[in-house]
Amino acid sequence: MKILAYCVRPDEVESFGKFSGQYGHEVELIPQSFGPEVAHLAKGYDAISILGNCKATREALDKINDYGIKYMASRSAGVNNIDIEAADEFGIGVSNVPAYSPNSVSELTVGITICLTRKIPTALKRVDTQNFALNGLIGVELRNMTIGVIGTGRIGLEVIKGFSGFGAKLIGYDVVENEAAKQYIEYKSLDELYKEADIITLHVPVTDDNYHMINKDSMAKMKDGVFIVNSARGGLIDTEDLMEALKSGKVAGAALDTYEHEVGVFHNNKMNEILKDDTLAKLRSFPNVVLTPHCGFYTDEAVSNMVETALISLKEFEMQGSSRCQVGGNSSSKSKCLA
């Protein structure tokens, strides 16, 4: 299969070289992010591969459909950047990578939580200016916290295991309970979790049903001084509502590896530029916010898994017209495709 891979980072090149031949693909790598403006570059190819910050809109999909492209493999887990309805309408098979190394995100989650609760970023900034004072740096100990995990699937389970070593009380919520998680957590209703947790960490995909699930109404149900951690998807949090809660002290701090309007900003160098997003500019000014550029997935193992799984999916599409990692259409066992 002849494939055009969009938005290829330098760290992916080695994996593309390794796995392209293994799965019998001819792959061209380009740095441009997929979208309507660059969809024409796919002319003459059989399939494309994209990342989560690409814009697979109806307009873009319509264009590649005109070129006869029927398969698109995302190298990311989230598909909220893809118009799945349009892809189904055009008969374009879409796959994602729901099962890359879960430890990559779980380890970052634990790390940014500790950074938040122990005020490590503030301490590091002070030392840079030779300010070695302790005032304002007092933290809390995780063993004294109740940690609420929303989403207890592959990543959520690893987060739970990570936090279990600190001796914290662990509670969780999911629409489908994970039997393996029950040895570590007590399942609660969502409202019970909001009420009881000192730290709330999110590990669910964003959907129409849970978009902005963290908002002024849900935060009103939480403890005063709660910490909120999000290494899942930015759309789970209403950022404006979060900032108001941070100002009032309702939320003591937030650790965010993702932001609802991150596309076009995160994973790009914006030094010496004026941020056009006033909300993000304000969010960066909060001393009790730890903000990282959606790098939870970014480990050597996870990057390799993502590239290989995308190429496996395209091979399956080529050979049988469907993929184990297919989303939309007649997708079935979406969770069985870890490379």
Residue 158 CB neighbour total at 10 angstroms: 20
Q: Which of 294, 316, 318, 324 is catalytic?
A: 294
Between CA 277 and CA 289, with CA 283 as vertex, the angle to 5 degrees is 150
Phi and psi torsions of 3, nearest 5°: -125, 140
Question: Does residue 9 have an active-site annotation?
Answer: no
Cα radius of gyration (the chain): 21
Beta strand 326-327 pairing with 93-95: antiparallel
222: number of CA atoms within 13 Å, CB side?
28
Spatial CB neighbours of 115, under 8 Å, sequence gap ≥ 6: 121, 255, 290
Distances (CA, A) of 118 to 138, 168, 288: 7, 15, 10
Spatial CB neighbours of 94, under 8 Å, sequence gap ≥ 6: 72, 73, 74, 79, 82, 84, 87, 326, 327, 328, 329
Closest CA to 302 of 155, 199, 182: 155
Phi and psi torsions of 172, nearest 5°: -150, 165
d(CA 316, CA 264): 31
230: left (phi over 0), alpha (psi -120 to 50) or beta: beta
Sign of CA dihedral 40, 41, 47, 51: negative
Question: Does residue 262 have an active-site annotation?
Answer: yes
Q: Which two tokens stand for residue 176?
A: 């489908």
Phi and psi torsions of 53, nearest 5°: -95, 10
Q: Which of 233, 260, 316, 318 is catalytic?
A: 233
Q: Which of 12, 158, 260, 262 is catalytic?
A: 262
20: number of CA atoms within 13 Å, CB side?
17
Name the residues annotated as catalytic.
233, 262, 294
